[in-house]
Amino acid sequence: MAPFEVIFPGNKRVDVKFKDYTIKTDQSKKNEGDETAPEPFAIFLASLGACAGIYAKSFCDTRDLDTENMRLELTPYFKKGLTHMERIEITLHVNQAFPEKYIKPVIKAMNACAVKNQLHPDIAADTRVAYLAR
């Protein structure tokens, strides 16, 4: 894997260069940033959602399942009074035509996400499928 280069373009902004990409981060105004980009923790959560999402999408594509209106929602829950996550909920919303027989297998596919598997074992991950309203 190519190295990640971290640069500091000003104030609380921290950018990461990887291959031909630049991932921009900033801090909230509350944390003395300019809010020009997401905070690093938000990008971490986004990468978890994107990883689970690509596993779900690939699962569906392999089986020619309709992914129209499909979406994934990721909700972190934190230990009371602390900044550490205690649980993360990943919900794949699928259309009514999604076959029930594939619910457990698509959950298993999403749980194979490499980013999710890097989480500390104390962080519970609840992965589920929900049908979109008609």
At 14-68, the pLDDT tens digits run 999 999 999 999 999 999 999 999 999 999 999 999 999 999 999 999 999 999 9
Identify the three-state secondary structure at position 69.
Answer: coil
Looking at the fold, whether 13 and 68 belong to one and the same domain comes out as: no
- Domain identity same for 3 and 58: no
The reply to whether 54 and 113 lie within a common domain is yes
Q: pLDDT tens, 54-65?
A: 999 999 999 999
Name 27's Cβ contacts closer than 8 Å, sequence gap at least 6.
Answer: 12, 33, 34, 35, 39
Total number of domains in the chain: 2
Q: Are residues 62 and 19 in the same domain?
A: no
Tokens, residue 88: 């993360």
Domain CATH number, residue 79: 3.30.300.20
pTM: 0.89
Give the domain range for residue 52: 45-131
- 50-68 burial, b at 16+ Cβ within 10 Å, e below that, comes to ebbbebbbebbeeeebeee
